[in-house]
Amino acid sequence: MARIKLERREGRAQFLDQKEGYARKEISFEIRKDPLTGHLSRILPFRRKVFETALAQEILEASRKGCPFCPAQVESFTPKFIPEIAAEGRIRRGRAVSFPNAFPYAHYNWVVVLSDEHFYHLDQFTVEVVRDGFLAGQEGIQRVGRMAPDFVFSSINWNYLPQSGGGLYHPHLQVVVDQVPTVSQRKGIEGIRKHQEEEGSFYWEDFLSEEMSYGERYLGRCGDVHFLAAYSPQGILGEIITLFAHRFTIDDITEEDWTHFSEGLTRIFRYLKERQTCSFNLALISGTNPEVQSWAYARLIPRILIPPWNTSDINYFEKLHGEVICVVSPEEMAEGLRPFFSK
């Protein structure tokens, strides 16, 4: 059977510890390589501590004033789609409403507001609210596909709260459809192509089979949607990968799949809330293109501000060196998450 290369190497550093009378102390850490993209993570679990995070109620209340996504403003404060995409102006699914981004950064770029409610704590999101938001995003992608079939690189993204770069508290997704892949999409495509050439098999099937056999990072499944802790995380508190088995584009994802995906997300949200983590970034990527097939997959990264000065969790190593410092091992993250998938 084709194998996935899970590369890691151990590093060690020494210093004279002032807390122990300047005795010599040695600390070990790991450097891990993502088997798909080659991304590097430095696993430093000795730095781990629980950060007490709380949403300032006064800021949350102030954010309601003039919010363009709230029901009283959304009709007059947001753009409409061009008729070629949506003759009705906006796309609706359940309580979700979708409209173009007023400050677009791709040829097709729009927002999906998830609900009339201005704010949800993580444990307040329901499967229906999350599912309908992604369904509204998918509907727009499908309409663009019929109109401009050469725009094959799509993603549905979520910045939840300011810690993740979210500009508004009102929960919303952002959809991007373009002719060219993002850097992350391109690296994924190149990794799948390389695996196909070297092993003669499909990367995601090999990856899922091996991770399930290892059992260290595999969390569980909801229908055909699988959840895993990433081997080489892209966030300081780890990363969760979701695989839509045998769904090659976002178009292929069924309503039942969206329900299963949303069930898994709400379980992850409860895990984060239990661990005093209230923010995340999520990207759901349609990786297939005319040259390489990929399953649709998602990556979720918890985000924090580090007390006491609300320091960003992104530093020079990540922003300028392209490597991530992670303070929780993927196996420890999986151990904490797995009970939420066994319930």
Residue appearing with tokens 């007490």: 52
pLDDT number for residue 56: 76
Q: Are strands 296-303 and 240-244 parallel, antiparallel or unpaired?
A: antiparallel
Residue 122 lies in a domain: yes
- Tally of CA atoms within 13 A in the half-sphere of 147 that contains its CB: 14
**pLDDT bucket at 59, cuts 50 / 70 / 90:** confident
pLDDT number for residue 57: 84
pLDDT number for residue 207: 97
Peptide bond into 308 cis (omega under 30): yes
Helix/strand/coil for 284: strand
Tens digit of pLDDT for each residue in 280-312? 999 999 877 777 999 999 999 999 988 778 889
pLDDT number for residue 305: 87
Residue 15 lies in a domain: no
Tens digit of pLDDT for each residue in 24-49? 999 999 999 999 999 999 999 765 56
E strand or H helix at 242: strand 240-244
Helices (H), 49-182: 57-62, 71-77, 127-147
Residue 130 lies in a domain: yes
Residue appearing with tokens 């983590």: 277
pLDDT number for residue 288: 73
Q: Is 321 exposed, middle or buried (0-12, 13-18, 19+ CB in 10 A)?
A: exposed
Tens digit of pLDDT for each residue in 142-182? 999 999 999 999 999 999 999 999 999 999 999 999 999 99
Residue 77 lies in a domain: yes
pLDDT number for residue 336: 96
pLDDT number for residue 46: 65
pLDDT number for residue 218: 98
Give the CATH number, domain containing residue 198.
Answer: 3.30.428.10
Least confident of 6-20, 36-50, 250-264: 36-50
Q: How many domains are there within the chain?
A: 1
Q: What angle do CA 188, 336, 216 make, to 5 degrees?
A: 55
Residue 78 lies in a domain: yes
- Which domain, by its residues, includes 141? 57-342
One-letter amino acid identity for 128?
E
Instruction: Give the residue from 209, 248, 229, 190 showing the smallest Cα distance to 331.
Output: 229
Tens digit of pLDDT for each residue in 188-247? 999 999 999 999 999 999 999 999 999 999 999 999 999 999 999 999 999 999 999 999
Residue 6 lies in a domain: no
Residue 129 lies in a domain: yes
Tens digit of pLDDT for each residue in 94-124? 999 999 999 999 999 999 999 999 999 999 9
Tens digit of pLDDT for each residue in 62-76? 999 989 999 999 999
Nearest-angstrom CA–CA distance, 224 and 213: 17
Residue 20 lies in a domain: no
Asked whether the beta carbons of 78 and 102 are under 8 A apart, the reply is yes
